[in-house]
Structure 1
């Protein structure tokens, strides 16, 4: 059995190795680069360049429907301050998100298992890095996209999932405090729930509602659990609703989509989702089987749970995570199905894809020793290190063509010394960001 200090050093070394591979392999991944050239993904660097390089004003901006104020803007600002190149900023932001994900998985795991929380968090981070980079190279994923690559991107709703990890960490910390020490953690929970829903209202659907539902199920099953309390049940939901409703008072130029539910279009939404999942299951059968098995176990856990021989509270929390992940997946899929003016895709289904690996790894950490978890992480690192991306680098690859087109346009603009222009929404941000802020473009509505 390794000592705690040696385990901590080994965990940090494995995570650092994974981040180095991420930094090295990220730029050569053309399908991933194509996603990063999307106007949606370049919203934050364009905003920061305008505010701090060109003297723009926030009040003049028509922000994206989800303004992504926290944590996306905060984390990207750190990358923007320390790196001048947009490409370096994007990679630095990806690293920050992976590290943040690992840290808060560690906090959650430490409250759900008595051992190996650090090794479990590192294993989850390495797994998501492998899936995000490796599966991003498969051209057949073009129809469905790669949900696991979203851990590298900004302004694609991954921040809302990271906030779920943060809030659950605070919830478990709150539950373990003495009664007279709970108020500070509850206040932090309320503030984060408010800011989260203000930044991205999908937080209400993916976390606040499912969290309240899972707590009610927990109350019916375990009346003596420290996790259940009325403040925990009510506070995140109330302050999430308050944050969502505060959008109109905080954001100057409102761009949030109204919620539209048209009965006549529901069939189209269901068809799209059915085809999406069908394509995903055909293209990623191992992941599909795993997801089906996981949610089957999560559903069964509502009715049956084996008694723990050690810490009943920690066992109860594992069960709570299973139930919460199931309810979160259901509310997310239902919301995506019935809101007819919302396009479906991986970015709206992040909890569905990410919670199963996280919870499974936490459960495995209760059974396996840390050295075995480290061995699995190292095997994944070796797979990532020696698996060369199968990128088709000629112009027949749409992702390569897009990267080359942007480079060509940017070089011409820099050579000609242009400073102002007009472009469509999808072209304006990539060109503006990769010219280093020297060009100010007016976005038009047409694509």
Structure 2
């Protein structure tokens, strides 16, 4: 066996170590991977289970703000059919996504430094495996589905096509490359806006800059950076027309939050560098090297005689980092951009930095690659052995608290319940009882966010409340007020299971035709009145201005309704003592459906009633009924009733 063959044999050994480390960390439930099983992370597994195992419809889903159609859906489709359950599918997805990154790193390396392409891609893969298992976000997202890593994979494919384009010898081949680029751009920008920020814009400016500096006159050399642009815009524009429920974040740029955003960016960079000082030093060196390359380029020179194509990619990565930092610094309508938005910022330097090392070290790169790979492989093996010894290795994920919940739910023959966001998809994904959980806020309003509308029911069987939840803290009290005390409460770990019986539990007072509810005066908010001992609202003749009663802000399905309010006034029946209006409480401005006057009642109980309709466009919007006492008038509000007719 030749020395070259022996060298080639090292790559599969290191790759097997990397893959084995990932699998063992999963199967042994490595604490470092705990976030891989939270409600955010199980979105795609649960979506595919709903679509392909239970006959669901994607139009019923409130998708993630970035829908991740490509390549995440394609990759997870394979994982879904290969894996037996959600847990195994998550593991398989992680291995496939890591393998895809390896393949495209190899293909990009072949275009830039062909001799060491296998060693370069292997070193990048084993470095990324080490970082993903030890450094947290954003590196660990290589193992996640639907967390922006797919946009980075798309970026790798796009850069490969960009490198292949100048090597095409015929117009038909160039047209093919541009066509693939355009389709990729449309799918990627539709799937994740980050592709536009971190790939499309930086490619445009890097290609434009280099072509201008070197006085490139051939129009075709501008095409790979310009032709995809309209397809990227098309993907962004068509999103609202293709997605049933629009959840995409809007981005507002301004200077109002520069100081806060700058602190957030520094915090993220500090977090990454402190966790892995080795990477931090290498990252800073890479940035300094990129700046030098840029300065030399402006003088029409290539630092260390690096090839033009490699310089172009170095400049692209430099612009990609600047583009992301620019958006992160100026965005004003987001609380903060977490580390997952910086995947390209931190991972491109690993890939291109390794390729630069291979380019400069030439034949000596093998020893560089081998030394680092051996050290990391030994660490990964020892770490995997330690994790396997300290944890139970199993191809299933069935925590004790979920097992406890399953037993209680199965014994009572229950199926539909509610829970907070961080419990709902997590428990549903790993439960073996076939339970369906709808997400709810503290106030028992539906949380239609990254879930299916079919999970929400008119009636439920139970509620799950976490004792240490950040959301859904007051729900036991809220449920008791609306429904009453549960038939049974069972504690499973840090969660309480509130059992109400089959279809005995409602979160909305009015769901279906025939439902009605009476709000006593003291159940309604007031500005100008006071609550009485008989649960009424009453004002004084000289009370401050404002609504005597308002609310109840009940979300109503589209349909036809009856309303009634009972009140008392000491004035004659012919006197106008107040006013009322019925409106849909929209976020910007209320839409008034009806209004009228309140007449005196001769100190007896009087009523105002009527009918109204909620159009489908206002389905599940909040209703508000307001009363106002005119100056010098005294009114007592006894109750307000709503009834759904159809």
TM-score (norm 2): 0.61
Judging by fraction of residues, say which structure has more helix.
Answer: 1
**Structure 1 residues 44, 410: closer, same or farther in 2, change over 3 A?**
farther
Aligned length: 427
Q: Partner residue of 1:87?
A: 87
- Superposed CA deviations along residues 124-169 of structure 1, whole A, max 9, x for unmatched, are 011100111133xxxxxxxxx4321111111110110011111111
Q: Partner residue of 1:152?
A: 143
Q: Partner residue of 1:354?
A: 347
Q: Partner residue of 1:336?
A: 328
Match of 1:189 among 144, 164, 181: 181
Compute the displacement of 1:224 (Å): 5.5
Partner-residue secondary structure (3-state), 1:115 = helix
Structure 1 window deviating more from structure 2 (192-201 vs 26-35): it is 26-35
Contact 1:39/1:428 (8 A) holds in 2: yes
Q: Partner residue of 1:386?
A: 382
Contact 1:215/1:228 (8 A) holds in 2: no
Match of 1:169 among 143, 160, 171: 160
**Structure 1 residues 43, 260: closer, same or farther in 2, change over 3 A?**
same
Contact 2:51/2:57 (8 A) holds in 1: yes
Structure showing greater relative contact order (alpha-carbon pairs closer than 8 Å, 6 or more residues apart): 1
Alignment of 1:9-408 (within 5 A): 9-28=9-28, 30-135=30-135, 145-180=136-171, 181-223=173-215, 229-261=221-253, 263-304=255-296, 315-342=307-334, 343-366=336-359, 367-369=361-363, 371-372=366-367, 373-387=369-383, 405=401, 408=404
Compute the displacement of 1:288 (Å): 2.1
**Structure 1 residues 31, 219: closer, same or farther in 2, change over 3 A?**
farther
Partner-residue secondary structure (3-state), 2:333 = coil
Compute the displacement of 1:416 (Å): 5.1
- Superposed CA deviations along residues 368-394 of structure 1, whole A, max 9, x for unmatched, are 436422443233211210136888x99
Contact 1:34/1:403 (8 A) holds in 2: no
Partner-residue secondary structure (3-state), 2:296 = coil
Structure 1 window deviating more from structure 2 (347-356 vs 47-56): it is 47-56
1:420 is the counterpart of 2:416: yes
C-alpha separation between the residues in 1 aligned to 2:210 and 2:386?
47
Structure 1 window deviating more from structure 2 (236-245 vs 122-131): it is 236-245
Compute the displacement of 1:21 (Å): 2.0
C-alpha separation between the residues in 1 aligned to 2:281 and 2:407?
46
Contact 2:253/2:327 (8 A) holds in 1: no
Compute the displacement of 1:245 (Å): 1.0
- Superposed CA deviations along residues 152-197 of structure 1, whole A, max 9, x for unmatched, are 1111101100111111111212221113221111101100010000
**Structure 1 residues 427, 68: closer, same or farther in 2, change over 3 A?**
same
**Structure 1 residues 239, 125: closer, same or farther in 2, change over 3 A?**
same
Contact 1:218/1:320 (8 A) holds in 2: yes
C-alpha separation between the residues in 2 aligned to 1:308 and 1:146?
32
**Structure 1 residues 195, 411: closer, same or farther in 2, change over 3 A?**
farther
Judging by fraction of residues, say which structure has more strand.
Answer: 2
- Superposed CA deviations along residues 400-436 of structure 1, whole A, max 9, x for unmatched, are xx96655654565456553211122221111111125
Compute the displacement of 1:321 (Å): 1.5
C-alpha separation between the residues in 2 aligned to 1:416 and 1:72?
38
C-alpha separation between the residues in 1 aligned to 2:73 and 2:430?
19
Partner-residue secondary structure (3-state), 2:381 = helix
C-alpha separation between the residues in 1 aligned to 2:425 and 2:217?
50
Partner-residue secondary structure (3-state), 2:62 = coil
Partner-residue secondary structure (3-state), 1:64 = coil
**Structure 1 residues 418, 242: closer, same or farther in 2, change over 3 A?**
same
Compute the displacement of 1:25 (Å): 2.1
Q: Partner residue of 1:141?
A: none
C-alpha separation between the residues in 1 aligned to 2:267 and 2:399?
29
Contact 1:175/1:227 (8 A) holds in 2: no
Contact 2:296/2:302 (8 A) holds in 1: no
Partner-residue secondary structure (3-state), 2:59 = helix
C-alpha separation between the residues in 2 aligned to 1:358 and 1:170?
17
Structure 1 window deviating more from structure 2 (257-266 vs 158-167): it is 257-266
- Superposed CA deviations along residues 295-320 of structure 1, whole A, max 9, x for unmatched, are 111111112266599xx8x7112111
RMSD (Å), alpha carbons: 2.9
